[in-house]
Amino acid sequence: MSGRLEGKVAAISGSSRGIGLAVARAFLAEGAKVAINSRDPAVADRVAEELGAGAAGVGADVSTEAGAKALVGGTIEAFGRLDVLINNAGMSAALPTLELALDRWQKVVDLNMTSVFLCSREAARHMLESGGGSIINTASIMSFSSFPRRLAYGATKAAVVMMTRMLAAEWAPTIRVNAVAPGYTRTEMVEQLQAEGRIDLDAIQHRTPLRRIARPDEMAGAYTFLASDEASYVTGETIVVDGGWLAFGAFEGA
């Protein structure tokens, strides 16, 4: 039995770990071929080798024009085409705004927002000539809800949602552009923030209606759906996968 993504080729930025890696595994299971991306080519190659047949490593810094071209070009070189781009690479900056240095702000903007523009533009140039494709961006619950000490992250993720809508309108009907907005997920980035004392996962679990933190693989279904033909009439949309976080507005005991 063939998978929902049989015959499709996907490039996933920031896919050597976390949600990106979980999505790569899901795409492979659904029959797609996948380009694994990390800034470090050795890491990208190692993860692709671990994933096995159907995966290829593409080392590139997607926050640069050269890196965006390398990701798209490397995917086409490895598999002959590009059907799906997932803009997943990102970073956080969890600290008070008065302590947010300009260089840290710029790094977050470059990776979380500028890379979406650069990689989408490069992929679209290919997809518009080849007859179509799908672009899926990784947004966040912080695209929709304000969090203290997350100015750079929240601002860039809010921008990703608007970029998704604008590109969907501009590139229709040839390219569908959508986004997934994950809630708190047990990724290496979140675990590091917990270790540094910048977030409290116990409190987050209690605040979440489903009373737990998501696993990375629980995000993958939204991406596989949006990349599949089942979502052929879906564009400009952001699917929130947050365990009910945004739906819950009551104070404790209400």
Of the candidates 134, 116, 131, the residue with the CA atom closest to the CA atom of residue 233: 134
State the Cα–Cα distance between residues 216 and 219, nearest whole angstrom.
6
∠ CA 38-96-250, rounded to 5°: 95
Question: Catalytic site residue 153?
Answer: yes
The answer to whether the CB of 227 falls within 8 A of the CB of 235 is no
Active-site residue, from 153, 184, 223, 233: 153
Six-digit token pair at 244? 């009910």
Four-residue CA torsion sign, 221, 65, 60, 141: negative
CA distance 73 to 14: 16
Task: Note the helical H segments in the chain.
Answer: 18-29, 41-51, 65-79, 102-109, 115-130, 151-171, 188-195, 201-207, 217-227
SS3 179: strand
Q: 107 φ, ψ to 5°?
A: -65, -40
- Amino acid, single-letter form, for residue 69: K
Which residues are catalytic, by number?
Answer: 153
